[in-house]
Each structure stands twice: as structure tokens, then as C-alpha cells.
Amino acid sequence: MQQLQGRVAVITGAASGIGLAMAKRFARGGMKLVLADIETAALQRALAEMQALDVQALAVTVDVADAASVERLADAAYARFGAVHLLCNNAGVAAPALLQPTWENSLEDWHWILAVNLMGVVHGVRSFVPRMLAGGDEGHIVNTASVAGLLTGSGPYFASKHGVSCLTEGLYKDLKTAGARLSASVLCPGVIRTQILDAERNRPAQFGGPTDMAKLSERQQQWSAGFRAALEAGIDPAVVADAVHDAVIADRYYIVPAQDEHLERIALRMADIAALCNPTLPVPKG
């Protein structure tokens, strides 16, 4: 999709981090924006930023884990702009204690993270892609996974991101096979300077509510603190947004703005698969 000027982009998780950076980048390309997020106050601040740039934009409070909420987002986008050309299913969450054996994750962790990270993308695809196809225009879908979707690890976060990677590759093939004017990309960022560990503040009661950090084990608290420090030193979200913009223009499927160590681990995993080797175990730091 090489022509962005005047086209319409829908971005979930748009109030902060990668989502907000993508909104700013596509605004510079002359796109109209539909910003979606679960946090109304932060979403309104993002909308004000776009309006200050004289961008035509709409803000819709959305819970991507709720199919009906995403359907209302699609209704609002089409009611306002009449079309959608770029869909960025970007909203995602992570629990503060990701590094623990699979059997120690609570069912609430599994249900919440899969509901947002995986089913949120499913809901976006189901609500928007049929309408985008019916519109007949060229367009693109970008689904945010993670390097975790190309690597492996314990627990629901890695499983959810692998699901997004698998779903998106299937979507890409389906669109190409059908000769559609739509294409797709999977976004697999490494450690990015975002507030993903603070996503717990929006965790609904039905999924256990926000985690009490004081109840985490010492090891989990240490890991969480270390990961938070890594995030603060991570890649700027604007770099990720530039990579997404360029991939949409070039119709490039893989978007992997990640640290060298992650790229090396991905290559090692692929080599293990090709050689039918048992998975190489991670080397403990220190």
C-alpha cells in the first residue's frame, strides 16, 4: 500500500507506546486516524495530540478482548470515514511475572493474556477484514506479536504471541491466494521503551484484577525489576513505527525491530528446527 495520503488507519493500543508512535508516524504520512484504547483519559490525550497536528482523528474506547467492543470500533470507523485501509491490531498486555514455569501461571493469567493478545487480534481481523475486502481498495493489516512469537518460553505471553505469528502468516497467505488487494505483516519487536509491565492497571476483575506485587516471590520481583530497567533502556517506539511504515509501503511481511541478541536466538531456533535438533537451552546470564 504505497499511497497513504488521505487513507484511514485504525490503531488499537493507540494511547501510548508503539501504538501512539505509529499514530504519529502515519499522521505524518497524511492518514486519517481512528485511535482505540482501553484507557479513556490517555486516549483523549493522544487524540488531542493528533488534533494539534491538524490530523483528522477519532478516538474510541475499546476492550479488544470483547468481540462486541471491537465490532463497535469498526462501526464507528466506517461511520466516520467510510473506509479503513490500514488496520494495526497492536493492543497487548504482559503480566509482571513472566519468567516462571508454565505450570505456575494462574488460569487468570492465561485467560487475560490470551484474551487480549491473541483474541484481540482475532476480533480485529473478523470485524475489519471483511469490510476492507468489500471496499475493494488496497490495504494492509499489521498484527503486533513480539520476538516472543518467534522464540519460545513458558507461559501465556509466549503462547499468545506465537498464536499471533501463526494467525498472521495464515492471513497473509489467505489474502495472497485470494488475489485480494489487502496484505498483512507481523510486527515482532524486541525490548521497546514502553509501559507494557504497567498493563496490570487495566486488568479486569474477571481476570483476577491487578496483581499484588508484594505477593510475588523474590525471584519474580527481581525479574520484574530487571525487565523494567531493560524496557527503560529499550528501543524507542518511534523506531518501531518507522519500521512499520516502511514495511507497509514495501509490502514486507516480517517486521523485527529487535536487539541483536534476539535476532541471534531466532536464528539459532530456526537452525535447530531445520536440523531436527532438540531445542538449545538458554545460557544463564552471569
The one catalytic residue among 78, 157, 253, 254: 157
**How distant, in Å, are the alpha carbons of 1, 41, 56, 66, 141 from that of 80?**
22, 21, 10, 22, 20
CA-closest candidate to residue 116, choices 94, 134, 139, 149: 94
Q: Annotated catalytic, 254?
A: no
Greatest pairwise CA separation for the chain in angstroms: 56
Q: Cell numbers of 172, please?
A: 497473509
Contact 75, 52 (CB under 8 A): no
Q: Which residues on adjacent β-strands are paired with residue 223? A: none
Report CA dihedral (266, 269, 270, 276) to the nearest 10 degrees.
180
Q: Which residues are catalytic?
A: 157
